[in-house]
A and B are shown apart, each in its own frame.
Chain A
């Protein structure tokens, strides 16, 4: 009786994995580049309010933040409403003008994102807005969450 021997394919059945580290490294670099590690330590309490008709800011590098809310004190207490820019609390509202003007010189298309606590008073916001007008940073954004 004649045997029919199954012909085995001559190719290897393994997938070459030598390029895998390259792929993984590529992904790694992508995430390393997109990661923003430096987050500001908030010195004010911030509960954002919600709104419906909001838009996304796509150009994140243009954005500079101003935080407003009750100051965090020791032992979990909250003080008066304060303004925080970058890492420090700005005591003198009149100093915002120069601070923001310097930022505007660095980034002419600056967008100022105002992150304001939902319970802080409107009066402080107008004071800050007046300073922004003086500084010439007219594009602002009231940071809110999406209403569900």
Chain B
């Protein structure tokens, strides 16, 4: 009898290189992935005006008129100011600690009206809006720290605390282009 002596080939597929292939793909996706978070200034636009309905009257003292021209010069209630002063002035206007007759009755009633010329570069407009947002952020942080001991950003979204602070200092910002 003839005994064939042959080595049996293993029936398995060599899986050791599988990891290499997977790593290669993994590295490709690692490199191409951009987990970029979009950052910016959030706003909520008002609904369009109905031409037949008269806009509700606003008391003059509750409205802070900020005018910005294309050169970046600022007028706040007819007074020229520099951009560094805007924030402190706004906080004073909204809070009105001394119950000044010309400043807002209460923070809830305060309206910031931002008007810019059509030719104003976007950069100047955003700088201006940034200051307004900064003023509101400072106010909200202060109120939040006084009431809850933490900054406003650290209050949970949609928590009653957060909504409380938002009601105390609602962001009432009106944006318009100067009509010529």
Binding site for B on A (CB under 8 A): 17-18, 20-21, 24-25, 27-28, 31-32, 34-37, 49, 51-58, 60, 63, 68, 111, 113, 116-123, 125-126, 129-130, 132-134, 136-146
Contacts and interface: CB of A to CB of B under 8 A. Distances in A.
Nearest to B26: A28
Contact of A118 (B15, B37, B122, B129): B122
Nearest to A34: B33
A142 B124 CA distance: 13
Contacts of A126: 118, 175-177
Interface string B136-151: 0100000000000000
A115 to B, nearest CB: 8
A60 B37 CA distance: 8
B118 A21 contact: no
B118 A138 contact: no
B6 interface: no
Contact of B39 (A34, A55, A122): A55
A57 B26 contact: no
Interface of B: 15, 18-19, 22-23, 25-26, 29-30, 32-35, 37-48, 116-123, 125-127, 129-130, 133-134, 137, 175-177
Contacts of B34: 36
Contact residues of B: prevailing secondary structure:
mixed
A142 B129 contact: yes
A138 B44 contact: yes
Nearest to B25: A28
9 contacts: A51-B126, A56-B38, A57-B39, A119-B121, A121-B118, A130-B48, A136-B47, A143-B39, A144-B126
Contacts of B134: 52-53
A100 B53 CA distance: 26
A133 B122 contact: no
Contact of B45 (A63, A119, A140, A146): A140
A119 B123 contact: yes
B39 A146 contact: yes
Contact of A141 (B43, B120, B121): B43
Contacts of A31: 26, 29-30, 33
A140 B22 contact: no
A14 to B, nearest CB: 13
A113 B40 contact: yes
A52 to B, nearest CB: 6
10 nearest A-B pairs in the assembled complex, by CB-CB distance: A123-B118, A31-B29, A24-B22, A118-B123, A53-B133, A51-B130, A143-B40, A126-B177, A122-B120, A133-B48
